[in-house]
Chains A and B, each alone.
Chain A
């Protein structure tokens, strides 16, 4: 009997994965479905404002998906993800600025022109954010706990003040993008088209996160979060695993930043400020730390409160604070945990 280790016998029992399928799957489908259908309906009813609002929700959710990979799955509480969001935004802004002016971004040692192509902007944003995160992560990940929080914050603030004092690109006034960057074949300046682009980005970011966390890399990252001594004892060094996860996380947030700049037609140092890092953390915690749909739920809640409560009173953050308090005290797994039930590890 002991040697009949048949293939089916060793596989993870399917019941764990499927026991919550009905409720969790339903909640997730409703959430994603509403996010897709409401803007489409608004567009055909002529309310472009709501389409752009949905784009904003989608982009912020995507930025939070990136941060969730670091905080929720990797246990790395980064308080500096605005750095990547802002860098992505500035890539879009600066590229558009030079394309509009027809001046080169740099002429030595390489001649780098501006570009108004979204594909070029996205690629540049992802690559540059990954490189920045590689440098920041390589240093920050030598610390843990509060020190990690503080050092990521410090790096982000350095970049914030740098952008503030760089007059070429507007300094603290920011930089306008007069004409939205373009894609081949589709009209990116159309509100619904741009929403669908953002929506695709969000879904891709979530799909990548999900797939990643099921892979060997994800298994190692989970172990690094739960017990890094165990991971090392099992023969895997935690540091490179964390660093790669941090870089992927920053790249996703950076791409969201590029989309955000093009949505608003404007990029300013506020995208880089610690307020935004904090807002992203609040969104991740509201939605459910380490939940795939958590950032989406959190972003919907956050932007809705900001928009509708913010329209009634400028003290809307008081209510945000109360909601956050409620979540932290009574729904430890965030809105998604409350709606869809807790998740069980296999």
Chain B
């Protein structure tokens, strides 16, 4: 049995009267894609916030590779190997793709209080960033400013940024959102190849992609995990069909 890379234990988060996260426990094992699905308002964003570090849980712990990261800052978690992408792509748009990806490499190598050596010729930064871009099949766009990229390409850049951290786990927040069928298929392919190296916690609305990619699926409704299993079990689960998929067949 493989050890969990990322593990959430009994997380609770409450905003006033709203129980946004209610006793959620999840784990992510080496070599898998674990999908988290749920209807709007199920508390997915709140849960992601607690994993990524923008929110603190009221109760419960978050572990990354055995380290308790519950109270760590976003940056500390990133350096420890938690890579993430955002639902709405969040990149420095005037800068080149390379500059965006290099930042993760830089954070990994040392602190950023290095004032003298120019980064533009620093191959300790350039080469690993280039390699991350190649993984995402984007190396031909390395020196293009982000604002010139298509939506799909930005998605790939986000994943490349996360990869630059040499992550132990990836947290991808709706990476398929806004992609056409073609872009979605391409990203699905890239993620499938990636999971052997880095386990992925995938939050996604695109059911086709989820059922194709996910080894395990957890369904979040009203802050609680109501079902958990492989895609076959989830498709058959009557509670899931009621809460999430409606009555129509998926």
The proximity string for A residues 59-73 relative to B, scoring 1 for CB distances below 8 Å and 0 otherwise, is 000000000000000
What is the predominant secondary structure among interface residues of chain A facing chain B? helix
Residues of A within 8 A of B52 (CB): 233
Q: Is B164 an interface residue (CB 8 A)?
A: yes
Stretch from A6-14, A40-48, A95-103, A308-316 that touches the partner: A6-14
Residues of B within 8 A of A236 (CB): 75, 103, 106-107, 112
B74/A244 in contact, CB under 8 A: no
Within 8 A of A (CB), among B74-104: 74-76, 78-79, 84, 86, 90-96, 98-100, 102-104
Residues of A within 8 A of B130 (CB): 5, 9-10
Within 8 A of A (CB), among B90-138: 90-96, 98-100, 102-104, 106-108, 112-123, 125-127, 129-131, 134
Residues of A within 8 A of B121 (CB): 11-12
Given known contacts A11-B126, A237-B75, A345-B99, A214 and B92 CB-to-CB distance under 8 angstroms: no
The proximity string for A residues 205-239 relative to B, scoring 1 for CB distances below 8 Å and 0 otherwise, is 00000011011111110110011011111111100
How far apart sit A244 and B95, CA to CA, in the bound complex (Å)? 22
What is the predominant secondary structure among interface residues of chain B facing chain A? helix
- A interface, size bucket: 35 or more
> What distance in Å separates the Cβ of B100 from its nearest Cβ neighbour in chain A?
7
Within 8 A of A (CB), among B34-93: 52, 73-76, 78-79, 84, 86, 90-93
B103/A232 in contact, CB under 8 A: no
How far apart sit A244 and B112, CA to CA, in the bound complex (Å)? 11
A240 nearest in chain B by CB position: B113
Contact partner of B106 (CB less than 8 A), chosen from A7, A9, A219, is A219
How far apart sit A234 and B79, CA to CA, in the bound complex (Å)? 8
B118/A215 in contact, CB under 8 A: yes
Q: Is A16 an interface residue (CB 8 A)?
A: yes
How far apart sit A52 and B119, CA to CA, in the bound complex (Å)? 39
Give the top 9 A-B pairs by smallest Cβ distance, nearest first: A235-B107, A235-B78, A234-B103, A226-B92, A214-B118, A220-B112, A232-B74, A10-B126, A237-B75
Where the two chains meet, the residues of B that have a C-beta atom closer than 8 Å to any C-beta of A are: 52, 73-76, 78-79, 84, 86, 90-96, 98-100, 102-104, 106-108, 112-123, 125-127, 129-131, 134, 142-143, 145, 161-162, 164-165
Residue contacts A-B, CB under 8 angstroms, 14 given: A2-B134, A215-B119, A216-B114, A226-B94, A231-B75, A232-B73, A233-B75, A233-B90, A234-B103, A236-B103, A236-B112, A237-B73, A344-B145, A346-B96
